[in-house]
Structure 1
Amino acid sequence: MNEIDIGSACNCFAMRQAARFVTQIYERHFAPLGVTATQYSIMVALSRRRDLLMSELADALVMDRTTLLRALKPLQRDDIVSIARAEHDARAYSLNLTRDGLRLFKQATKAWQAAQTEFEDKFGQSRARALRQELFSLTTVD
């Protein structure tokens, strides 16, 4: 059996290294607004649908609830996201962007566009599109 160079053969290592590189680009653009890439992802999901359940948000973002709660705390503290008991289930919580949250989301979307452009300028638009499709196929259930 040939010895494998784990550093160059490991899918997880390569994906996590690339994820850190890409995250650094986006977070540099979000930093002036005090938003992280994870928090922006949360705002995107909440901008698409009102009264999103915490469990639905965790599933949509492929995050465990503990990590999601950690990211939500500053958004709730800063009145960007409201968290309330769900109407149909007292054990569930529904999430919404507040008025301030919608305003911040619009500002952050401009920062996101700048980060998106920077990444695509470095990587290429068509390669970026193909990469997104492949990556989403990993987490999309048919």
Structure 2
Amino acid sequence: MTGTRSANTGEARPRAAFAAALAELDGRCNATAARRATRYLTASYDKALAPVDLRTTQFNILHRLALAGKTTITALAQVSAMDRTTLATNLKPLERDGLLAIRASDADRRARVVEITEAGLARLEKAVPLWRSAQDRFEDAFGEADAAELRAALRAVLVTGFDPWAE
């Protein structure tokens, strides 16, 4: 039995050994630490980007498209470290708002191509100073060198071969 239940409230509590295992997990789980930090930072960047009606994920998609030009959804998913389904969900409001266009590829009709529109570029241009302000505030608080080391460590995670989408 992994837990006990209070007779009065029905509230379950883990037994001591399981509670200790959970406490260790809380301090060691890389995914939990990364998710907590991501939510924290994302909230800050989302707040900064709100005046141009973009969320951090949308900003990053437009940024990638502005750099890449026309690209397939598969390639965009890879460079964004997103699965295709999540990316497709994030593309819909951007397409609806005219910030990007999605169409069948000329080379392979089964593939979908996505590209930023003029409206998307204009929105991105308004968003970059807001992003820069959030970036500067974070680096002032965290330290510029520490922020650079953090980004390097996070980029290193992406090349570990620990592929979550491998089949």
* TM-score of the superposed pair, with normalisation by structure 2: 0.80
Q: Matches of 1:140 and 1:48 in 2, distance apart?
A: 21
Residue number in structure 2 paired with 1:20: 39
Q: What CA deviation, in whole Å up to 9, does each residue of 1:59-113 have, x standing for no partner?
A: 1111111111111111001100011111100001111111111100111111110
Residue number in structure 2 paired with 1:75: 94
Residue number in structure 2 paired with 1:8: 27
Residue number in structure 2 paired with 1:127: 146
More helix by share: 1
Considering Cα pairs closer than 8 Å and 6+ residues apart, tell me whether 1 or 2 has the greater RCO: 1
Q: SS where residue 117 of structure 1 aligns? A: helix
Paired AA for residue 115 in structure 2 = N
Q: SS where residue 95 of structure 1 aligns? A: strand
* TM-score of the superposed pair, with normalisation by structure 1: 0.93
Q: Matches of 2:152 and 2:98 in 1, distance apart?
A: 34
Q: When the two structures are aligned, how many residues end up with a matched partner?
A: 141
Paired AA for residue 103 in structure 2 = A
Question: Structure 1: 5+ residue runs without aligned partners?
Answer: none
Q: Matches of 2:30 and 2:152 in 1, distance apart?
A: 17
Q: How far 1:141 sits from its partner (Å)?
A: 6.7
Residue number in structure 2 paired with 1:49: 68
Q: SS where residue 113 of structure 2 aligns? A: strand
Residue number in structure 1 paired with 2:13: none
Question: Structure 2: 5+ residue runs without aligned partners?
Answer: 1-19, 162-167
Q: Matches of 1:141 and 1:90 in 2, distance apart?
A: 33
Q: How far 1:140 sits from its partner (Å)?
A: 3.3
Paired AA for residue 35 in structure 1 = L
Percentage identity across paired residues of the two chains? 34
